[in-house]
Amino acid sequence: MKSLMASKLTFLCILLFLFSLSKGDDTIKHLQGCKRGSKVQGLHQVKLYLARFGYLNYQRTPDNVNPLQNDEFDEELEAAVKDYQSFYHLNATGTLDGPTISQMLMPRCGRPDKGSSHNHETKLLHIVSHYQFFPNSPRWPPSKSHLTYAFASNYPDIYVPPVVSAFNKWVSATKYFTFSRVDCVTSSDLKISWERGNHGDGEQNAFLPGTTIVAHAFPPTDGRFHYNADQNWFIGASPNAIDVETVALHEIGHLLGLDHSQFENAIMWSYIPTGAVKGLDSDDIQGIQALYGLNK
């Protein structure tokens, strides 16, 4: 029971931190320059962020003290910062420098980065692939190359066309999957909805108002794809909004079995900055081909 309560408390702290990120750069900007041995108020927020996205997992201490809740820049945090920096091709110093802090403040997908299987370094014509799969590489069975999708009743009609366009782009790119829209969400393979707060996916996946999380989706064969209704959405490029189709392309990749890529140009790169409009990249296509054996 104590373990369960501690776990819930940790998730709540992480969600509160993600909420606080939106309240201004001062939340963690003052931590710039912190490194191992530092003890600065607010460092626990960076620990919570890195734990949320899979970079930091403290072992339980004998006295049951949760290191995520203190402001000490310890050896584990340094290793986690280096891991995060390496994943995003930043200078892996283990120090909270300006580029690292700026990266953490950007809007992003809610799925963790770490825990993926297969970081591919296969070289083909001097091209290095960085696509990743989920642990155990879940995929849709061969009998399900055609998938149905439906929009929940809470999904805004104005934002349906960009999602339909995103599905069509995956069809053209994969030449394997096909999709069709149906009316019944309950029986559809893929279920797309517009959500706020704790919407039934567990506390760790809640959309608190103001969080940096824009959306999340689940690997095969779950089928859930949720937009964060509290983000500022737009169709196309807008300097102060998130493009609906760009996010759809990314989250559909999760629905098909791709995890976050380490290649910034890939649609499966986890960060989706305001104003950005992206399409599918060769890294995304190579990932799907490898996952489903389409390149044999």
Contact 221, 138 (CB under 8 A): yes
Question: Residue 188 contacts by C-beta under 8 Å, 6 or more apart in sequence?
Answer: 148, 149, 150, 182, 223
- Residue 56 CA to residue 53 CA, distance in Å, equals 8
Active site residues per annotation: 251
Q: Cα 27–32–36 angle (5° rounding)?
A: 115
Kindly report whether the peptide bond that precedes residue 93 is cis, defined as omega within 30 degrees of 0: no
**What SS3 class is residue 267?**
coil
Asked if residue 250 lies in contact with residue 271, where contact means CB atoms within 8 angstroms, the answer is: no
Which spans in the chain are helix H?
Answer: 2-21, 26-29, 43-52, 75-87, 98-104, 160-174, 244-256, 282-291
Residue count (the chain): 296
180 vs 164: CA distance, rounded Å: 9
